[in-house]
């Protein structure tokens, strides 16, 4: 892998991971239709670093919220174990957020059972194109027909977390945007626009960590080539920096209205992918 390719793929990952346009779909298109010869099996260590780059982006943007979630959760657990307290321990909103993130992550465990099938779909451009069309439909519906609610971490329910978690599990399909799917479902469940974005991104943290650990294990098992680590590191830096600004953009877009314009982009790319896959042998 050349440094130019690493930088380019880091750019794609940083943009598409957070904007509702599917990073996996774009990587599939680049590899299968434009012969960029990037395969996770050949560059598992690079895959790990790309995931870690997006993780750094999320943690940088939501560092205050993450710190509060962890601190309040520890405080709650300590209070639960203190029998001398006159009043029962109270689960504060940040701790509730962490609880719902953990609950919403559980469906991803079920999704692991289908990882083999999903890997094969990565090499099927027609499927990826159709999934991008579906993503566009979700974004269009969320923008035109779903009114933003008022639920936050204070009023969100266990059912909300499970349903959004199921949406995230479904979004392992290449071409189906994880952020677009989870945010749309969150809005449909009555979450406010800002909280829907924040919960979607916080929900991705355990999934990103899990994916990175699995890829790291495979890389070590198969004997990763650490000689190209500097090239991979360049992609990591680009993914982290670009991802940081992509998150800021998606938050700003939600505050101003929604993701309707991305629907047309997904429809265009999805339709073009299907046509090219039928033309290119």
pLDDT digits (tens, 9 = 90+) for 100-145: 999 999 999 888 888 888 888 988 999 999 999 999 999 999 988 9
Strand-pairing partners, residue 134, are: none
DSSP code string of 83-95: TT-SS-----HHH
Residue 242 lies in domain: 3-81+89-279
Q: Into how many domains does the chain fold?
A: 1
pLDDT digits (tens, 9 = 90+) for 191-247: 999 999 999 999 999 988 887 888 788 777 877 666 788 888 999 999 999 999 999
DSSP 173: S
Asked if residue 41 has pLDDT above 60, the reply is no
pTM of the model: 0.91
**Alpha-helical regions (H) of 35-114:** 44-61, 63-81, 93-111
Which residue has better confidence, 36 or 250? 250
| 39 confidence band (pLDDT: 50, 70, 90) | very low
pLDDT digits (tens, 9 = 90+) for 266-275: 999 999 999 9
Long-range contacts of 186-189 (CB under 8 A, 24+ apart): 186/160, 187/142, 187/146, 187/148, 187/149, 188/142, 188/146, 189/149, 189/151, 189/160, 189/163, 189/164
113 three-class SS: helix
Strand-pairing partners, residue 191, are: 151
| 163 confidence band (pLDDT: 50, 70, 90) | very high
Cα distances from 191 to residues 182, 225, 259, in angstroms, run: 11, 45, 16
């Amino acid at each position: 892998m050349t440094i130019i390719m690493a930088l380019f793929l880091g750019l794609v990952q940083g943009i598409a991971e957070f904007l509702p346009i599917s990073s996996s779909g774009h990587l599939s298109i680049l590899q299968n239709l434009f012969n960029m010869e990037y395969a996770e099996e050949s560059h598992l260590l690079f895959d790990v670093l790309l995931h870690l780059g997006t993780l750094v982006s999320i943690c940088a943007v939501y560092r205050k919220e993450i710190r509060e979630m962890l601190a309040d959760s520890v405080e709650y657990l300590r209070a639960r174990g203190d029998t001398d307290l006159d009043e029962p321990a109270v689960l504060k909103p940040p701790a509730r957020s962490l609880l719902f993130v953990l609950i919403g992550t559980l469906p991803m465990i079920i999704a692991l059972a289908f990882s083999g099938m999903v890997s094969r779909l990565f090499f099927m451009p027609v499927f990826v194109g159709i999934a991008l069309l579906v993503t566009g439909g979700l974004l269009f519906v969320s923008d035109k027909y779903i009114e933003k609610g008022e639920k936050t971490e204070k009023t969100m329910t266990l059912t909300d977390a499970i349903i959004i978690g199921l949406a995230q599990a479904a979004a392992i399909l290449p071409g189906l945007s994880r952020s677009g799917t989870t945010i749309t479902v969150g809005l449909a469940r009555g979450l406010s626009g800002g909280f829907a974005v924040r919960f979607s991104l916080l929900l991705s943290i355990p999934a990103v960590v899990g994916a990175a650990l699995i890829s790291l294990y495979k890389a070590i098992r198969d004997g990763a080539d650490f000689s190209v680590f500097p090239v991979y590191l360049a992609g990591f830096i680009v993914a982290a920096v670009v991802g940081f600004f992509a998150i800021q953009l998606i938050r700003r877009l939600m505050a101003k209205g929604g993701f309707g314009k991305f629907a047309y982009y997904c429809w265009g790319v999805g339709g073009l992918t299907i046509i090219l896959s039928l033309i290119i042998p």
